[in-house]
A and B are shown apart, each in its own frame.
Chain A
Amino acid sequence: MNQIASIIAATLMWIAASAGNARAVTPDEMLPDPALEGRAREISQTLRCVVCQNQSIDDSSAPLAKDLRVLVRERLSAGDSNAQAIGYIVARYGNFVLLRPPMQINTALLWFGPALMLALAAYGLMHTLKRQAVAPVEGEAAPLSKADEARLARLLGENSGNGFSERSTVATGGKAGEPATPSTNTRRKTS
């Protein structure tokens, strides 16, 4: 059973790995020079197909993607560097055509936003944890006053007998009316 499972897992991983190589480049588009073709493939994988929503022009089978692939190969064959070829397309379609947004002032929030949010969340979490660590100390009961001590002793002594009425008052002490002394409130957390 384990063997079958691992074979299936390995097959799935192999399929997933090779799926990353999916491409729409047809043989007639490919350049004869393998170095140029390699650069063209690399560049194509970083350019967005603007009519496809999140495919690169290397992956997409849309006609516009094909046009752009051919254009990239033409620019490279004409001697453009990678940056020049990409710049040629960005000049016509804007920064949106880059799958990896450039690091600029107006994309700073895009790049650093997630890290910033993580930092804020971590700070908030630390703050909350610290407050929770402090709270139980506040909950320590203050010492009872002399009157309360006597009352306590009396109640405890009456527990063995019929302390029904007194007990019910104690049980509903908070609800039947205001507690006689404020010290009984100290055990309730006020946060």
Chain B
Amino acid sequence: MTLAVPNLTRFAPILAFGTIALCFAFALTNDPRKMPSTLIDRPVPTFALPALEQGAAGLAHTDLKGPVTLLNVFASWCPGCRVEHPTLIEIANAKAVPLYAINWKDKPGDGLKWLKAHQNPYLKVGDDPSGRLGIDLGVTGVPETFVIDGTGRIRYRHAGPITPDVWRDTFEPLLASLRTAK
């Protein structure tokens, strides 16, 4: 070796280690349970679900056009849904955004009983006992909430309960930007 470059190759192992350690540190902070939704920016799948009780109107994809709306997926057996319920009631009372819901994989009558026992924050609820619409939406668990813009396209998917922090930090800015962008 000529003496133009000092002996830098001695640093190669530590540099390689450092680079790999950085990559691992980054990757280890990734939650493997968090999956990005493939439906972002795609229209809500066509669907028409029956209502939970006789005589009420069910939920169809056409209900989700017009204003920016939230589509919440819940189940009576889901503790996280119970956790986010007070926040949803607040949102409904403040009329911050129209709330629609899918009752996912519940036995007949259970969803209705749950809504009657705790208040019903939703304008309309569709019954999905088989979970088939859930699969079309890429749902992997409950609760999940989709933000749907005025043209009926899904713009955001939140997996997990909506807590006041999540509402303030994630949903409110997003709703504001979607409404002004229209």
Interface positions of A (Cβ within 8 A of B): 50-51, 53, 63-64, 67-68, 71, 90-94, 96, 120, 124, 127
Contacts and interface: CB of A to CB of B under 8 A. Distances in A.
A64 B136 CA distance: 13
Given A50-B35, A53-B32, A93-B35, A71 B9 contact: no
A94 B141 contact: no
5 contacts: A51-B140, A64-B141, A67-B131, A71-B135, A93-B38
Which 7 pairs across A and B sit closest by C-beta, in order of nearness? A94-B38, A92-B138, A50-B140, A93-B138, A51-B140, A67-B131, A96-B35
Given A50-B35, A63-B105, A92-B136, 14 more contacts: A50-B140, A51-B140, A51-B141, A53-B32, A64-B140, A92-B39, A93-B35, A93-B138, A94-B35, A94-B36, A94-B38, A94-B138, A96-B35, A127-B9
A92 B32 contact: no
Interface of B: 9, 12-13, 16, 32-33, 35-39, 105, 131, 135-138, 140-141
A91 B45 CA distance: 12
A53 B141 CA distance: 14
Nearest to A96: B35
Given A50-B140, A124-B12, A68 B35 contact: no
Contacts, number: 37
A91 B35 CA distance: 13
Q: Chain A CB within 10 Å — which of B32, B35, B135, B141 has the most?
A: B135
B135 A67 contact: yes
A131 B32 CA distance: 44
A93 B37 CA distance: 7
A113 B37 CA distance: 26
Contacts of A90: 38
A91 B135 contact: no
Contacts of B9: 127
Nearest to B138: A92
A92 B131 contact: no
Contacts of A92: 38-39, 135-138
Contacts of B140: 50-51, 64, 93
Nearest to B1: A131
Contacts of A51: 33, 140-141
A35 B16 CA distance: 50
Contacts of B36: 94
A63 B131 CA distance: 10
Given A120-B16, A124-B12, A68 B138 contact: no
Nearest to A54: B32
Contacts of A53: 32-33
Contacts of A64: 131, 140-141
Contacts of A93: 35, 38, 138, 140
Contacts of A63: 105
Contacts of A67: 131, 135
